[in-house]
Structures are given as C-alpha cells and as structure tokens.
Amino acid sequence: MLDIIPEILTAEQVAQCRHLLANAAWQDGKTTAGHVARQAKQNRQLAADDPLTTQLGNLILDALVRNPRFMSAALPLKVLPPRFNRYENGGHYGNHIDGAVMNAPGSSQRIRTDLSATLFFCDPDDYDGGELVIEDTYGSQSIKLPAGHLVLYPGTSLHRVTPVTRGARIAAFFWVQSLVREDSQRSILTSLDTAIQHVSADTPDSDAVARLTGVYHNLLRQWSET
C-alpha cells in the first residue's frame, strides 16, 4: 500500500530544516550504497554520525509519533533514524529495491525494512525532475510532494529517483519495521481504523464502534509480531 501523508512537518519546521541543511557537510552518496546500488546512485548524503543528522532526525521522529495517520498506516515497531540526501546537477538513483535488513547506526540492532519513507523538504516548483517513481501492484506511481509531506510505501517495491535537471531536491528517508509484516494485512487494518474513526465521529455512542474496535484489535493481536 502506498500512502501519502501530508504535513508531517509544519512550514516553520521545514524552513528550519532547510536553513540548517543549506550548509551541511554533504558527502558522496555512493559511500552508503551496496555494490549493485553503487552503480545506480548519484547523489549526496549526510553522514549517519553527523550531529545534524541526529538533530533533524529526532525532530522528524517526534513528529511521526504525533501523527495519527502515520501511526495507523505504519504500525511502527522500530524506525531507523532518518537520513538525508540531496540531488542536483543531474543527480539520480536508478531502479533498486532497498535492503531487507539494516543495522541501526551505532548499535548491533537489526531492523527489517517493511516500509520505506521519503519526507520532502523542497516544493515541486523548486526543482525539475527528481520524481520518486515507485512500481507497485497498481503500476508505476510518480511521486513529487510539497515540502513537509511524506510518502510511505512497501520496502519490497522497485523504485528510483529521476534526474534533477534544475535546482536541488532535498529529502529525508528512513525505514520502518512494522508490528505487522504483511502489506496486505496492514492495508486491511488501516482501512478498518479509518472506518472506525468515521463511524465514531458520526455516531459516537454507537455499539458498532466498540464492536469494530474489538475486531481491529483482535486482528492486530493475530497478525502482530513483537
């Protein structure tokens, strides 16, 4: 399931991030790529141990926890600290699938990448190209979102970033290990959660709300991995 989640960050938070990232110590993105991905990758990234990576990553993690839509769609068990990349002057990333398991920086903890996420810091008019193209069950999806918006999609998806021919595309990216491994099951739970919220808003005293909530939690109990 591909989910676009608006306004993860406020306009003020986006402006703060862009100001700090403007003079960041960007490095060649190939240094963090595997052998196959290195051939397809042309961008710049912040080092995982850069203090700015930690500062802005914590800002994003705090915002994610407060966002009901992200929590409903991702059902996060573990979230890898966000990283940051920059594409310009023809920079791109060819077709690839993210690694299935990744190490958390500075620890021995390993995280299964059930979901991939990209959070945009630049508005679409700021640059040409730079679309995130995701191949999913519904075909090819081209994503280029306003600053502060996030796209969440299955880590199993083949995806790429098209060449940036004008301006710069700056974004955060990270991965989530979900309580529910299977994308189809997460999709069912998200749809059910959304329906519960609508019924609760329309008829808050309805017995259906309690029954549907019970179904939701029983399915989560059956499908979750902790």
8 A C-beta contact, residue 4 and residue 151: yes
Q: Is 98 annotated as a binding residue?
A: yes
Q: From CA 18, how far away is CA 168, in angstroms rounded?
A: 11
In whole angstroms, give the CA distance from residue 12 to residue 148. 10
Q: How many CB atoms lie within 10 A of CB 106?
A: 10
Task: Consult the annotation and say whether 35 binds a ligand.
Answer: no
Phi, psi angles (nearest 5°) of residue 208: -65, -30
**Which tokens sit at 161?**
């970033």
CA–chain centroid gap for 139, Å, is: 19
Annotated binding site: 96, 98, 159, 169
Annotated binding site for Fe cation: 96, 98, 159
Annotated binding site for 2-oxoglutarate: 169
